[in-house]
Amino acid sequence: DFFKAASKHLGGFQLRKNVFHDTTHVVSGSGRRTLNVLYAIIKGCWLLSPKWVSDSYNDGKWLPEDKYELVEHFPAAQISRSQRILEGRSRHTTLFSKLLPIYLAEKTFPSHEDLEKLILECGGKLTASLRKAGMGIGHIRCRRKNFCAVSEKWLLDSISNGQVLSTQSYEIQTRDRDESPEF
């Protein structure tokens, strides 16, 4: 494939399918928000268009990344990357650190496990107890009055924008738990 050939020809980079702690660059084709794009934002990686690879290949060297950065699709990427440069590799994202613990529905999209990792990577806390939760993500059965449950999109949009967004337009109706049967 072209990326593999370009990487081998130009050197200096190792290709991987997923973002790891030492990843520095992520190439994303269509401006689609994928888990790798979200992890690139969280970890402060360069988030680049494939044109960076093809232009670099044609030029015979890796070109400066600035004009290939996908800031129009993912504005938080540039800010996160700048913070990574200032704070170094030990930087920890604190996006959700000031939120009360979050309760995740069992069935979510992206998966429960993926959302769990994203929340923790952003400094958030999780709870398995609805009573201890400050909010919930996904379709949840809950009788608690004024409990805020939001769609998964709130989490993804907050990461993409680099700020905790208002929950108002993301709220979903919580369903009452089934009553205990009377015998």
Residue 108's CATH number? 3.40.50.10190
Query: What is the C-alpha to C-alpha distance for residues 153 and 143, in angstroms, rounded to an integer?
Result: 23
Residue 146's domain spans which residues? 102-161
Domain stop point among 62, 87, 112:
87
Asked if residue 175 belongs to a domain, the reply is no
Answer for the pair 149, 171: CB distance below 8 angstroms, yes or no. yes
pLDDT digits (tens, 9 = 90+) for 130-171: 999 999 999 998 888 888 999 999 999 999 999 999 999 999
Identify the residue with better confidence: 179 or 84: 84
β strands within the chain, DSSP E: 25-27, 46-48, 102-104, 135-137, 149-150
Do 108 and 155 lie in one domain? The reply is yes
Convert the pLDDT of each residue in 77-118 to its tens digit.
888 888 877 777 666 789 999 999 999 999 999 999 999 999
Cis peptide before 110 (omega within 30 of 0): yes
Q: Helices marked H in 107-162 — which ranges?
A: 112-121, 152-161
Would you place residue 4 in the very low, low, confident or very high pLDDT band (cuts 50, 70, 90)? confident
Residue 170 in domain:
no
Residue 34 lies in a domain: yes
How far are the Cα atoms of 22, 75, 86, 115, 144 from residue 25, in angstroms, in the given order? 10, 16, 17, 22, 44
Mean pLDDT for the chain? 89
171 falls within a domain: no
80/8 same-domain check: yes
Residue 80 lies inside a defined structural domain of this protein? yes
Q: What is the pTM of this model?
A: 0.86
Residue in the structure block whose two tokens are 């190792």? 14
Show which of 33, 58, 87 is a domain's final residue: 87
Residue 124: the pLDDT is 97
| Total domains present in the chain | 2
